[in-house]
Each structure stands twice: as C-alpha cells, then as structure tokens.
C-alpha cells in the first residue's frame, strides 16, 4: 500500500485535504438551484463510500510495503472496527447539520463558524488523544483561529442587520455541527496504529481500511439521520423520499462528486497522520474554512451588499486563520 514517508509530503497531503474539505460545499450550492439539500445528501454519502472502496483496492492494496486492504481487514479487531464505524456515525450527524447550515446561511458563514469550531475543539481532542507536535505552537495556532471564527460571526451579524435571518438559526446550527464534528476524527485515528502504518499492531487498521469502515458508518447511519432531516427539516417543508428519484442524472452526479471530493480529503488526511500526527493532520485539513469562505465570498457573493465593516472583519478572519495554520505546521516541523 502507499505510505507517506516524510513530514513535508504529509503537509502536502494535508493541504490537499484542506482544499477538498473546503470545496465539496460547492457541489451542494450547485445542486441547491433545483434540489433540496436532503436529496443532495443521499448522493453525497454514496460518493463517500464509492471513493473509499476505490482507494482501498488501489492505493490500499498495491505495492510491497504494508498490509493490503483485505489482509488488514481480515485481522482487524472488533473494537477497532467499531471505533472507525462510530467515527462515521458521529461525522454524519455533524455533516448533515453543516449541510443544513450551508442551505440557511451559505458557505462563507457555515464553514468558518462550524468547521472553525470543529478545528479548535478537534485539534485539542486529537492532541490529548495522541500527543505529537510542539504543544505551545499548536495552542497558539488554535487560539488565533478561535479569534478568526469570532470575527466571521461579527461580519455575518453586520451583513444581516435588518434581515429576517438575523434570528441566528444558521449560526446556531453551524455551532452544533462544529461541536459534534470535533470528535469524529479521534474515533477513526484511535482505530489505527499511528506509529507504524507499514506493520500495524495486531488488530489495528491501516488508513485505507479505517476510511472504508468509517464510510460504511456514514452510509448506514444516513438512513436514520437523513430520514429524520427529511421528516423534520430545520428549515422548509418536510419532503418525501420519492422526490429523490425525480432528480436527473446530472443532479445525482453532482452530489456523488461532492462525496468523492470530501473522501479524497479524508483519505489523504488519514494517510498523512502517521508523520504529521493526528492533531496537526486534522487541524490543517480543517483549514478548509479558509477555502470555503473564499468560495462563498468571491464566487458565490454571499456578502454582496454587506457594509464595509463586514469586509474588514472577513479580511481579519483570513489573516488570523493563515497565521494560525502556519503555527500548526511549524508545531510539527
């Protein structure tokens, strides 16, 4: 199987994760023109599962180094399989809320608030779960990112003065998504031997096996979570599953593409975690907030008509996020 051999390449993989995790939301924005996010999400989880299978039987099986996917799966212990599966369930609960937040308040708010909060809490959870990297620089980076989230919240509030959306539903849903999202990565990382991917301890998973089991958790739990979302939506009228089958092929493919993009990021993050450490690998990947905010502001014009103060606050958010991510990279160098 393919294994990252040095820290520099691990950082490159984390940057790829950042762009993937920050860009999948564009597929939801595209689909939302004619498609409720609940319908989009069925295709999204199919894309996540499909790429995990493809990755397992290619990068996870080719080459002389390490255990192949099927060999590793056959020796995996039930607690480690359960941990990766639980990670998928936790992620799915959070991501459905994030999708709802995107539908309510857009990418430039849902991601910085929700995923930014997940970054701050998740880095701490993963660091204390498997300490790797200089803690002082990790915590400085996290603190700067926390301030960046606050600036984005103020920018959103100023942009919506006088609007009915000022009720804050979108921000509250984003916060809920972020709190839950902070914990999924630790469950997946705990199922792997983060010190030795080539020869993992007995019962432990390789990154490719872990991502596959995680994706099964996402897919299976979706029958519960997304059904509830359809019957009791946060915003809008309830919808029936029959509406899903009325979508055309292009609409379905857009959703599947969104899932594939996200799972590429998840796979690269897991592959990088041996050399970078779980906390840094997760934290840099969740720098996706920068990417998504740029998409939302520059491409989707979600702050069009906002006062100048919102622009200045968003600029401050970008600067603090970049500096914070720099501290995270330096922490593991």
Residue 28 lies in a domain: yes
Task: Examine residue 32 and state whether it is found in any structural domain, yes or no.
Answer: yes
pTM: 0.89
Q: What residues have CB less than 8 Å from 151, skipping those under 6 apart?
A: 313, 314, 316, 317, 320
Residue 20 · residue 233 · CB < 8 Å: no
In terms of residue numbers, what domain contains 280?
A: 7-331
DSSP class per residue in 164-233: GGGG-HHHHHHHHHHHHHTTHHHHHHHTB-TT-SSSPPTTPBPHHHHHHHHHHHHHHHHHHHHHHHHHS-
With respect to residue 316, please indicate whether it lies within any of the assigned structural domains.
yes
With respect to residue 123, please indicate whether it lies within any of the assigned structural domains. yes
**Residue 86: inside a domain, yes or no?**
yes
**Could you list the pLDDT tens digit for every one of the 333 residues in the chain?**
999 999 999 999 999 999 999 899 899 989 988 889 999 999 999 999 999 999 999 999 998 888 999 999 999 999 999 999 999 999 999 999 998 988 888 887 788 888 888 988 999 899 988 888 899 999 999 899 888 888 877 887 777 654 544 447 888 999 999 999 999 999 999 999 999 999 999 999 999 999 999 999 999 999 999 999 999 998 789 999 999 999 999 999 999 999 999 999 999 999 999 999 998 999 898 888 888 888 888 888 878 888 888 889 989 999 998 999 899 889 987
Is residue 2 domain-resident?
no
| 18 belongs to a structural domain | yes
Does 1 map to a domain?
no
Give the count of domains, the chain: 1
User: Measured between alpha carbons, how far apart are the two ends of the chain, in Å?
Assistant: 25
């Amino acid at each position: 199987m393919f294994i990252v051999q040095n820290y520099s390449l691990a950082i490159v993989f984390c940057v790829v994760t950042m762009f993937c995790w920050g860009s999948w939301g564009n597929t939801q924005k595209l689909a939302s023109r004619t498609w409720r996010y609940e319908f989009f999400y069925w295709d999204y989880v199919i894309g996540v599962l499909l790429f995990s299978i493809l990755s397992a039987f290619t990068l996870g099986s080719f080459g002389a180094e390490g255990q192949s996917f099927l060999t590793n799966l056959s020796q995996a212990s039930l607690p480690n399989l359960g941990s990766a599966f639980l990670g998928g369930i936790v992620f799915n609960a959070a991501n459905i809320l994030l999708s709802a937040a995107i539908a309510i308040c857009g990418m430039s708010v849902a991601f910085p608030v929700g995923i930014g909060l997940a970054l701050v809490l998740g880095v701490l959870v993963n660091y204390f779960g498997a300490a790797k990297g200089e803690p002082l620089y990790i915590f400085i980076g996290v603190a700067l990112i926390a301030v960046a989230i606050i600036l984005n919240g103020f920018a959103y509030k100023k942009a919506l003065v006088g609007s009915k959306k000022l009720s804050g539903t979108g921000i509250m849903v984003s916060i809920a998504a972020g709190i839950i999202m902070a914990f999924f990565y630790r469950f997946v990382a705990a199922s792997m031997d983060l010190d030795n991917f080539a020869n993992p301890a007995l019962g432990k998973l390789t990154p490719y096996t872990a991502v596959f089991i995680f994706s099964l958790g996402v897919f299976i739990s979706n029958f519960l979570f997304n059904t509830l979302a359809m019957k009791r939506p946060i915003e809008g009228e309830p919808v029936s599953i029959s509406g899903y089958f009325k979508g055309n092929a292009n609409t379905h493919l857009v959703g599947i593409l969104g899932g594939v993009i996200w799972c590429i990021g998840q796979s690269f993050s897991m592959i990088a975690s041996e050399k970078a450490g779980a906390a840094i690998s997760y934290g840099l990947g969740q720098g996706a907030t920068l990417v998504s905010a740029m998409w939302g502001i520059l491409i989707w014009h979600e702050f069009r008509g906002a006062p100048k103060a919102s622009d200045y606050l968003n600029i401050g958010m970008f600067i603090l996020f970049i500096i914070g991510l720099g501290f995270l990279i330096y922490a593991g160098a």
